[in-house]
Amino acid sequence: MGRKIALVTGGSRGIGAAIAIRLARDGYDIWLNYRKDEEAARSVADTIQGYGGECKLLSFDVRSSREVNDILLPMLEADTPYAVIHNAGVTRDGVFALMPKEDWELVVSVSLGGFFNVVRPVVRSMLTKRTGRVVVISSVSGRSGQAGQVNYSAAKAGLIGAAKALAKEVARRNVLVNVIAPGLVDTDMTANAPKEKILPLIPLGRIGTAEDIAGAVSFLLGPDSSYITGQVIGIDGGLYM
C-alpha cells in the first residue's frame, strides 16, 4: 500500500511550509500548492524529499477555478488525497470605513473562494473513497474579530462556518473536517504586527511558531483524532478563551 497524500494550499512559506514538512516527516507524500514563489516552494520540496517523501508542486492561484481545475482535476482522476489542508490566506489590513473594495475582495476570495475551488473537488473524491480529513486554517481573528481586520476576520469566520457545515454533510462517509485557529504566529505575514501590544494579552507570554500549528495538523490527521469533527482548535497561547 502506497503512502497517503496530503494536499496543502499556500505551502511555500510560513505555516503552510511547516505543515507540509511535518506531514512528510509523518510519512505523507505532499501535493504542495503555491501561487508564485517557485524558489521557496522548491526549497520546501527539497526538504520533503529529504524525509523520503514525494512532493508534487502545484502552481495555481486558489482564487481561480480555472487554474485550480486545470491542474488539480487531472491529478484527482489518478489519486485521492487522504487529507487537504486549506491554509492559503492573505491580509490587507485597514480601517473598514476607508477600505478599498479590492482589499475586501482579495482577502475574502483567497480564503473562501479558495476553500470552494480546492476543497470541493477533493472532498468529492474523498466521499467516493469513504475516508478523508479536511483541516482548515482559520485565525483567532475569525473567532473574536479584530479592529483593522474586518475583511480578514470576515473571511476567517466564514471558514469556520463553512467547515462546521461541511463536517455535518460528510461525516457519514468518514470524512472529518476540523478547523485550527492560530493566534499570533511568527511568520512573514505577522512581521509588521504590533507584537509589543499583543504579547501582554497572551497568557503564555510568547508568540507561537509555525511548528505549533503543524503539530496540531499532524494530530488531526492521525488515528487518535478519529472521533473529532466539526471542531475549532485554538492555538493561540490562551489569547482567546
Domains and CATH numbers, the chain: 5-235 (3.40.50.720)
Cβ atoms of 104 and 151 within 8 Å: the answer is yes
Burial 66-95 (b: 16+ CB within 10 A, else e): ebbeebbeebbeeebbbbbbbbbbbbbbee
Q: What is the pLDDT of residues 140-182, one digit of tens each?
A: 999 999 999 999 999 999 999 999 999 999 999 999 999 999 9
10: left (phi over 0), alpha (psi -120 to 50) or beta: left
Q: What is the pLDDT of residues 31-50, one digit of tens each?
A: 999 999 999 999 999 999 99
Confidence (pTM): 0.96
Give the active site residues. Answer: 152
